[in-house]
């Protein structure tokens, strides 16, 4: 019986050659696969990057976190981080694969250009030892032609130290009087914590949303065991020492002719459960109309949201209040109010938000893809959003101009749009039932039309209350970390520290560096010169002391 001829040669050398060729083809396939994976990862990272840019541009165009885009941006950023890491990992695999073969070129992903490291960082020069002789001929006659420098960013772990302040005693040999230098001032009585440590403690808790128990755990890992109660003592004492600055910022905010107002919830412990308390914010920011006064933020805490709280906060103030339609402000707008009625200015961002929710085309499509119920999409809401967006576009062009210039441009461009919007809203309202969602959104504007049109005649008024919403953003971020305030006193202390930190940020001052300098100086600083320690005077005050 005949047997089929074997496709493999019988010669050993031929078999080795065949095996080597097969291995080479396998290496080529592996290299091509690695190259394809690297290209795919780079494309995915690029798509995620473009999505993130589009989301940011949409958020800038259509408003702040009102459209719930903040959470989407955070998710996109996390996704982008993972995709970039995947792309880099696949790049390394693609670079290693061609080393096994000479036929497939490595995939070269276009990497984002990196900015140079900051000039203020210290540089440590490490010189790799040069050869003593020529590796080619062995000659020792070498001449330096130049050098190549590669910079690598490195970090030194945080260092702790104990400062021992020594006060020597001296006795006079003639009169036997004992003399000794006075003890240095401490911001905390019998204080053991230095000002930089206190500033770090406060900024981590109220600026970076790290509760004291987590800070204590991190300190213990670094070899410094401090109990949470010990740290809490320092926070309370430091907040008390900083109260004069809080009062000066409060006076500065309430000296403005126009302020933004808003509030948000903050959980607070109460007999084994949490109650919903409030943090109120008032923002002075004259930069939109080219004002020269420094911006500032003022926080207040209250156990509830009764209208008596804003009335108490603004008891001695009169001017233009930019806020939402919260009913607790109504008594401030009363004609007989003393010392004078507060003038209401409407927030177009709140008005637009109601229409935007009814015109949420993207959200409806997302719910439909998940099998959820389809919400109604109203063409009227879409047109309302477009009409309001035209007003926002005009405001972006006049931001930073003087009040007179703003009024002139608004009368020329915004006034006709507002007249058309009023007529259109009135006509649409006549077609809707009183309980319709669209009718509620329209009435929100029509019933406050005087407050919404006030910006046409006063260049100091902004059309949104976004300044207050931006200032409040630190509170929701903190709620996710520390979950609740421990007491009413804790809420009041949070209001004080939020005021200081957010005001420093508004003035482009590093809050931690500013707090460290203030805590080092405030105990011995003259009370009549307390304004020198405010964030907007900080650099000039330090320069005066240095001189």
Q: What average pLDDT values come out for the chain (547 residues) when binned by 10 residues? A: 55 68 69 71 66 62 49 53 56 59 49 73 89 87 86 84 89 90 78 90 92 90 89 88 95 96 86 81 95 95 93 95 92 92 94 85 60 69 92 94 96 96 95 88 94 96 94 81 71 93 95 94 88 87 44
What's residue 546's pLDDT? Answer: 43
Q: Are 242 and 254 in contact (CB under 8 A)?
A: no
What's residue 544's pLDDT?
Answer: 43
Q: What is the pTM of this model?
A: 0.76
So where are the chain's domains? 30-57+74-98, 243-504
Specify the pLDDT at position 135: 87
Burial 343-376 (b: 16+ CB within 10 A, else e): bbbbbbbbbbbbbbbbbbeeebeeeeeeeeeeee
Residue 530 in contact with residue 191, Cβ under 8 Å? Answer: no
Per-residue pLDDT at 102: 47
- pLDDT of 242 reads 94
Q: What is the pLDDT of residue 107?
A: 44
pLDDT reported for residue 121: 87
229: CB partners within 8 A, 6+ apart = none
- DSSP strands (E only) in 288-429: 296-302, 320-322, 343-345
Task: Please tell me the predicted confidence (pLDDT) of residue 62.
Answer: 52
């Amino acid at each position: 019986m005949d047997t089929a001829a074997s496709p493999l040669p019988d010669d050993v050398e031929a078999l080795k050659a065949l095996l080597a060729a097969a291995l080479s083809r396998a290496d080529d396939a592996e290299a091509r696969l690695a190259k394809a994976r690297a290209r795919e990862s780079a494309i995915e990272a690029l798509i995620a990057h473009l999505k993130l840019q589009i989301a940011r541009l949409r958020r800038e165009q259509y408003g702040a976190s009102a459209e719930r885009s903040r959470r989407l941006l955070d998710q996109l950023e996390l996704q982008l981080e993972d995709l970039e890491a995947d792309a880099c990992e696949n790049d390394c695999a693609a670079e290693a694969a061609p080393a096994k073969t000479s036929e497939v070129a490595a995939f070269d992903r276009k990497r984002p250009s990196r900015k140079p490291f900051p000039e203020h960082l210290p540089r440590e020069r490490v010189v790799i030892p040069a050869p003593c002789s020529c590796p080619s001929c062995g000659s020792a006659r070498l001449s330096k032609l130049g050098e190549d420098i590669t910079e690598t960013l490195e970090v030194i772990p945080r260092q702790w130290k104990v400062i021992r302040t020594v006060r020597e005693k001296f006795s006079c040999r003639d009169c036997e009087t004992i003399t000794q230098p006075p003890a240095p001032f401490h911001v905390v009585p019998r204080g053991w914590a230095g000002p930089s440590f206190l500033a770090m403690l406060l900024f981590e808790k109220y600026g970076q949303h790290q509760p004291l128990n987590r800070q204590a755990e991190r300190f213990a890992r670094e070899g410094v065991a401090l109990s949470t109660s010990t740290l809490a003592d320092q926070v309370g004492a430091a907040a008390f020492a900083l109260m004069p600055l809080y009062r000066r910022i409060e006076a500065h905010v309430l000296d403005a002719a126009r302020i933004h107002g808003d509030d948000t919830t903050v959980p607070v412990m109460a007999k084994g459960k949490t109650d919903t308390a409030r943090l109120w914010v008032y923002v002075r920011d004259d930069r939109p109309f080219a004002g020269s006064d420094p911006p500032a933020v003022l926080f207040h805490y209250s156990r509830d949201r009764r209208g008596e709280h804003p009335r108490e906060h603004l008891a001695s103030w009169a001017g233009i209040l930019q806020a939402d339609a919260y009913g607790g402000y109504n008594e401030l707008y009363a004609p007989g109010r003393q010392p004078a009625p507060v003038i209401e200015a409407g927030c177009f961002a709140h008005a637009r938000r109601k229409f935007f929710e009814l015109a949420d085309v993207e959200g409806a499509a997302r719910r439909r893809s998940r099998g959820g119920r389809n919400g109604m999409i109203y063409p009227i809401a879409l047109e309302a959003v477009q009409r309001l967006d035209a007003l926002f576009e005009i405001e972006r062009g006049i931001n930073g101009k003087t009040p007179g210039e703003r009024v002139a441009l608004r009368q020329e461009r915004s006034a006709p749009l507002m007249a058309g919007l009023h007529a259109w809203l009135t006509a649409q309202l006549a077609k809707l039932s009183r309980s319709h969602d669209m009718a509620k959104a329209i009435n929100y504007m029509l019933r406050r039309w005087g407050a919404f049109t006030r910006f046409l005649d006063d260049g100091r008024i902004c059309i949104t209350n976004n300044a207050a919403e931006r200032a409040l953003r630190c509170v929701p971020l903190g709620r996710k970390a520390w979950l609740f305030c421990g007491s009413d006193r804790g809420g009041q202390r949070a209001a004080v520290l939020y005021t200081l930190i957010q005001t420093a940020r508004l003035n482009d001052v590093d809050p931690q560096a500013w707090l460290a300098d203030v805590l080092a100086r405030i105990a011995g600083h003259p009370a009549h010169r307390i304004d020198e320690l405010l964030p907007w005077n900080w650099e000039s005050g330090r320069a005066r002391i240095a001189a």
